[in-house]
Amino acid sequence: MNIIKSLWVWISSITFVLLAFPVALILWLLALAFDSRRLMNNRWMVIQGIVLTKMSPFWKVIVEGREKIDQKKAYIIIPNHQSLLDIVFFNMLRHRLRWVSKIEIFRVPVVGWEMRMVKYIELIRGNKSSVARMMEKCAESLQEGISVVIFPEGTRTLTGAIGKFKTGAFQLAVKTDKPLLPVLIDGTGEIMPKKGGIIFRNRRIVRIRVLDPIFPGQFGTGDPEELATRAQALMVTAMDQLRSEA
């Protein structure tokens, strides 16, 4: 039964993405003339994520704290990372943003093409020049008023626990003087863990909780490593609280 459910999710999702791609292509062609920030493509990407999230009967996504996001501000968004599904479900925030993603994802047909249309930011792990370009692109996006999303753990957790934060997002925050927006995601790792396909035991509840933004005046330090440590501690405590409420 789990295999049948998994196949249904994959087949229906791929079919929807393929049907939605021509719309993305049309919006991109229009954007070449008068939408350099690709706002139309960005909105269409969000809509696709919401539809993909809601079309499955096998999970329920609860979003808390969306009102803490000022839609007119650009944030450096720092979510924890449990599953590839985090990226899809994150669209439930309905916020204009660009992801920082490893270059391998950009090579996936259709999905990668649309990511480039929206101006998502690629990263080659371990490549210093790629990291420098990524930081420049993130700074440009923030200057354009479009938030960027960086997983500070750098990779998906195997245990569900929040891992040690890398300093990239926090270097960017110090450099650009832009606010950090911590976001918790819990439950996706139980549906689609890092090592394994989609698992269905029961209908799963996924919770996304937006924490209070951390503005530059609240950083309390200009050291990215110290800022990363503080943010990690804050999110670990908040995750414990989230799980205690379940």
What average pLDDT does the structure give for the chain? 92
Q: What is the pLDDT of residues 174-186, one digit of tens each?
A: 999 999 999 999 9
Cα separation, 180 vs 168, in Å, equals 12
Other CB atoms within a 10 A radius of the CB of residue 54 amount to: 12
Q: Distance from CA of residue 51 to its chain's centroid? A: 16
Provide the pLDDT confidence category of residue 101 given band limits of 50, 70 and 90: very high
Say if residue 198's pLDDT is above 70: no
Average pLDDT for residues 165-177, to the nearest whole number?
96
Say if residue 59's pLDDT is above 80: yes
The CATH topology of domain 2-244 is: Glycerol-3-phosphate (1)-acyltransferase (3.40.1130)
Q: What is the pLDDT of residues 236-246, one digit of tens each?
A: 999 999 999 97
What's the predicted TM-score (pTM) here? 0.93
Provide the pLDDT confidence category of residue 1 given band limits of 50, 70 and 90: low
